[in-house]
Every structure is written in structure tokens, then in C-alpha cells.
Amino acid sequence: MRLLHRHVQPRTVTTAACLLLVAGAVSCSSVAQPADGRPAELIVFAASSLTDAFADVEQTFEAEHPEVEVEVIVDSSSTLAEQVVAGAPADVLATADEATMQRVTDEGLAAHRPVTFARNQLTLVTPADDRTSVQSVVDLERDGVTYAVCVPDAPCGAAARALLDLLGVDAEPVTEEENVRAVLTKVTAGEVDAGLVYVSDAEAAGADVGVVDLPRAGEVLTVNRITALSQAAEPELARDWVTLVSSAQGQRVLASYGFLPAP
């Protein structure tokens, strides 16, 4: 994981950033500017399953906040939560499950009550050439078929284990990866015959993978939560990011990548 070590300059200049929203309403927020005139910086820690959706959100946010540069850092939710608790510089945390976010909340590091903004579910992906013709979850138990999942302490790993148990699959994965994008990479590189990833990751991979729907996947949904962090160097911008992700515009972006709406 690449952590951004930020040296925070004194902020002595304040500008009013007035945003003309799609609905026609105007929202103004006070944005602190570094004394040397450099753009303000917003650091967002996000679950790896949010990589592509948050890249789109980043473009929108920077267009609405031309005085701000956004850095989205992605990894397993559990890894990011550990980094936040350890004091890593970040303004926003978005996780792929509730339990991981709760650890951060229990430490008093959430600036407000975390917001549930989406849900996700697992699917099975195969390499585009589909060498072994994996057509159902039952095929994972065939001799010679290899598959990958996330490590158990990552939300994608916990969900994968719960779903496989539910489906009665006893075959063990040949590898457990740190986050869901690492699982996807194993599949697209042809290093395994299949992998359990989120629907959003399968959508992002497009033609690079084949997709096998998993029965009862809807019974093992993960819940995405987001919060501004209490140690945020840019608390108002952090709240603006949370608001954008939770807005109708943010929800359309998430839906386009296969995320389910928040309950």
C-alpha cells in the first residue's frame, strides 16, 4: 500500500467556493488554502472495490472544487482502517463493510456517524479465454481447478467464505489475496482459473473476464460505509466528499459500476 505522507502548511487564506449544483441550487463552503498558494489536498482512503467508481467521483469533485487536488488511496478496508487507527494522514474513509468501519468509530476517529452509501455482492470471474470452462460454483470442486479469494480479514474474504459455506463448497482456494483487486489481477493474468470478486470489480474488468453468477449471492451482501475523519486536515472538504458520494449524482456513478443502492 502506498501511503501519502503529507506536510501540512499553515493555512491563512480562505476562499469561498460556491458550487452550482445540477439541481440549480448554489452551495458555498469555506476552503482553507495553504499559505504558499498551492491547491488544498483531500486524501480519501477507499476500499479497493471502489477504485473505478471513486475515480469518476474524483473527477466530478475536482471540477466542482478547482482549488482542490484529491488523492484516492485504495486497499483492503481492514488495512486502511489499521492505518487510520495508527494515525495515517487521511480526510475520508470509505469501507466495504460495517465491521471495519466500526473499529474506526470505536476509536473515536469518525467525525460524524458513518453513512451507508452502497451495497455490493460477490460473483465468480474467470479468465477471458476460459481455459477450464468454469460455468458454475460447483466446478470449483473439480480436480485441477484453481481459484482465488481475499484474505479472511478483508470484507471480500469474509463474504467469500460465508457464501462458499452457504453453497457447500469444500474445495480450498489456492491463494488468498490482500484485497479484491489483487484477486481480479490473479484471474486476468491467468494465474488461477477463477476468483470470487465483487460485481463492481467484474464490471470494471469488462471483456477481460468471464462472469459466472453465484446462487444465493444476494444473501451475503456487503455494506459500504463512509465518514469524514476526526483528524482530517480538510474537514469541510471531507464532508463535501461524503455528501457527493451520497448524492443522487454519486449514486448514479456507483450504480454504473454495479453497486447496489443503500438500504
Q: Is 223 helix (H, G, I), strand (E, B) or coil?
A: strand
For 192, the grid coordinates are 488461477
Does the pLDDT at position 17 exceed 50?
no
State the average pLDDT over residues 27-45.
67
pLDDT tens-digit readout, 60-90 = 999 999 999 999 999 999 999 999 999 999 9
Does the pLDDT at position 220 exceed 80?
yes
CA distance 247 to 229: 19
Q: Please tell me the predicted confidence (pLDDT) of residue 20.
A: 27
Q: Please tell me the predicted confidence (pLDDT) of residue 7.
A: 27
* Under 8 Å between Cβ of 89 and 60: no
Q: Please tell me the predicted confidence (pLDDT) of residue 129.
A: 84
Q: Please tell me the predicted confidence (pLDDT) of residue 19.
A: 31
* Under 8 Å between Cβ of 69 and 75: no
* Under 8 Å between Cβ of 74 and 91: no
State the average pLDDT over residues 94-105.
97
State the average pLDDT over residues 152-162.
96
* Under 8 Å between Cβ of 229 and 238: yes
pLDDT tens-digit readout, 172-211 = 999 999 999 999 999 999 999 999 999 999 999 999 999 9
Task: Provide the pLDDT confidence category of residue 38 given band limits of 50, 70 and 90.
Answer: confident
Strand partners, 115: 226
Task: Locate the domains of the chain by residue range.
Answer: 40-119+223-256, 122-220
Higher-scoring residue by pLDDT: 43, 8: 43
Does the pLDDT at position 29 exceed 90?
no
Percent of the chain with pLDDT over 90: 83
- Do the domains at 40-119+223-256 and 122-220 have one common CATH topology? yes
What kind of architecture, by CATH, is found in domain 122-220? 3-Layer(aba) Sandwich (3.40)
| Domain 40-119+223-256: top CATH class | alpha beta
CA distance 186 to 117: 28
For 193, the grid coordinates are 482459473
Does the pLDDT at position 14 exceed 50?
no
